[in-house]
């Protein structure tokens, strides 16, 4: 019996050294009343108690190590977020400052020069695109985090169509009221479909690209760096302001329409996190605004 017990103790000691406590209960039969009275029985009992305490301490140590790893991961994430926030702040500040200078230069040169406006507008788009590419590359997040996903696309599309329908009715009501009161020309009716041409197909691509930049990239980047009770409305309004900013190259009214649309599409985007619905809504609303004569 003693030789067998010594063999068991040696085996269990080797297992414990490897961190395996799963079979320590095999020593329990040796701590029965018949064995507990002698020295080797007491030694076995003490061995089991020691192994149990050692297992508990090792478990507690592993738990503390896991906690330290989580805290370290949180610190790394916080540092990355601070760096990311600095990039977002610098990018937005640079774009807004540069755009303000460009607007003033336009006014000084010739505010009615169409070609200059076109160059500036497309240059602004290019600036936003380059900033978006840089941010995506910097964060290394998957493109689906920036709205390029089919997740929730049906709900997004249905909700966007409903909202778009309501906005079109409001737009037509405003146009009707404006014509009745002599505020707008009604010779072409409520909607002038005669001005439709191939450029409206190009506008579909532009609207989708703008939604990717404004909602997918801009809104997402701002959202990742703003916290608090009113973070959601702050993110929507700020991203809408950034979206409306480039429209100033055409007119203040165009920029206001962009700001209002930015708020609406920002809300829709945050509900479903895909640019599919908001892109369609953007295209239809923008097209109707042109056809109704509100912008253009």
Task: List the single range of 42-51, 71-80, 111-120 with lowest mean pLDDT.
Answer: 111-120
Question: Band of the pLDDT at 106, cuts 50, 70, 90?
Answer: low
In degrees, to the nearest 5, what angle opens at C-alpha 234 toward C-alphas 228 and 240?
155
Mean local confidence (pLDDT), 138-164: 90
Mean local confidence (pLDDT), 242-271: 86
Question: Band of the pLDDT at 265, cuts 50, 70, 90?
Answer: very high
- The interaxial angle of helices 275-292 and 252-272, nearest 10 deg, is 150
| pLDDT exceeds 50 at position 33 | no
Mean local confidence (pLDDT), 103-124: 64
Q: Which of 4-13, 22-31, 113-122, 252-261 has the highest mean pLDDT?
A: 252-261
Task: List the single range of 112-116, 137-141, 263-267 with lowest mean pLDDT.
Answer: 112-116
d(CA 61, CA 19): 13
Mean local confidence (pLDDT), 200-215: 89
| pLDDT exceeds 50 at position 273 | yes
pLDDT for res 222: 84
Q: Domain ranges in the chain?
A: 110-292
Q: Identify the CA nearest to 275 among candidates 126, 142, 153.
A: 153
| pLDDT exceeds 50 at position 36 | no
Mean local confidence (pLDDT), 181-196: 86
| pLDDT exceeds 90 at position 21 | no
pLDDT for res 41: 66
Task: List the single range of 11-20, 161-170, 209-218, 223-232 with lowest mean pLDDT.
Answer: 11-20
| pLDDT exceeds 70 at position 28 | no
Question: Band of the pLDDT at 117, cuts 50, 70, 90?
Answer: low
Residues 6+ apart with CB under 8 A from 150: 274, 276
Mean local confidence (pLDDT), 206-221: 88
Whether the model clears a pTM of 0.85, i.e. scores above it, the answer is no
Give CA torsion, residues 198, 204, 205, 210, to 10 deg: 140
pLDDT for res 174: 92
Neighbour-count burial for 245-271, b at 16+ CB within 10 Å, e otherwise:
bbbbbeeeebbebbbebbbbbbbbbbe
SS3 for the chain is CHHHHHHHHHHHHHHHHCCCCCCHHHHHHHHCHHHHCCHHHHHHHHHHHHHHHHHHHHHHHHHHHHHHHHHHHHHHHHHHHHHHHHHHHHHHHHHHHHHHHHHHHHHHHCCCCHHHHHHHHHHHHHHHHHHHHHHHHHHCCCHHHHCCCCCCHHHHHHHHHHHHHHHHHHHHHHHHHHHHCCCCCCCCCCCCHHHCCCHHHHHHHHHHHHHHHHHHHHHHHHHCCCCCCCHHHHHHHHHHHHHHHHHHHCCHHHHHHHHHHHHHHHHHHHHHCCHHHHHHHHHHHHHHHHHHCCCC
Q: What is the mean pLDDT of the chain?
A: 80
pLDDT for res 218: 85
Mean local confidence (pLDDT), 53-58: 76
pLDDT for res 272: 93
Give CA torsion, residues 94, 98, 99, 103, to 10 deg: 160
């Amino acid at each position: 019996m003693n030789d067998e017990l010594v063999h068991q103790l040696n085996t269990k000691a080797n297992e414990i050294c490897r961190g395996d406590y799963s079979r320590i209960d095999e020593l329990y039969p040796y701590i029965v009343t018949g064995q507990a009275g002698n020295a080797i029985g007491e030694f076995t009992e003490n061995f089991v108690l020691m192994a149990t305490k050692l297992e508990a301490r090792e478990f507690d140590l592993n738990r503390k190590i896991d906690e330290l790893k989580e805290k370290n991961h949180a610190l790394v994430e916080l540092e990355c977020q601070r760096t990311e926030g600095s990039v977002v702040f610098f990018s937005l500040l640079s774009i807004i400052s540069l755009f303000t200078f460009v607007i003033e230069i336009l006014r000084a040169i010739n505010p009615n020069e169409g070609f200059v406006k076109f160059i500036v507008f497309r240059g602004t788009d290019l600036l936003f695109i380059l900033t978006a590419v840089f941010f995506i590359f910097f964060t290394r997040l998957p493109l689906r985090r920036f709205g390029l996903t089919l997740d929730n696309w049906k709900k997004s599309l249905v909700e966007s169509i409903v909202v778009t329908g309501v906005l079109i009715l409001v737009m037509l009501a405003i146009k009707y009221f404006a014509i009745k009161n002599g505020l707008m020309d009604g010779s072409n009716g409520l909607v002038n479909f005669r001005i439709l041409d191939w450029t409206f197909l190009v506008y579909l691509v532009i609207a989708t690209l703008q939604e990717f930049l404004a909602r997918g990239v801009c809104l997402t980047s701002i959202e990742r760096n703003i916290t608090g009770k009113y973070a959601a409305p702050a993110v929507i309004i700020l991203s809408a302001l950034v979206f409306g900013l480039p429209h100033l190259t055409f007119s203040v009214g165009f920029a206001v329409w962009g700001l209002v649309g930015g708020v609406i599409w920002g809300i829709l985007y945050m509900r479903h996190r895909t640019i599919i619905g908001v892109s369609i809504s953007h295209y239809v609303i923008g097209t109707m605004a042109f056809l109704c004569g509100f912008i253009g």
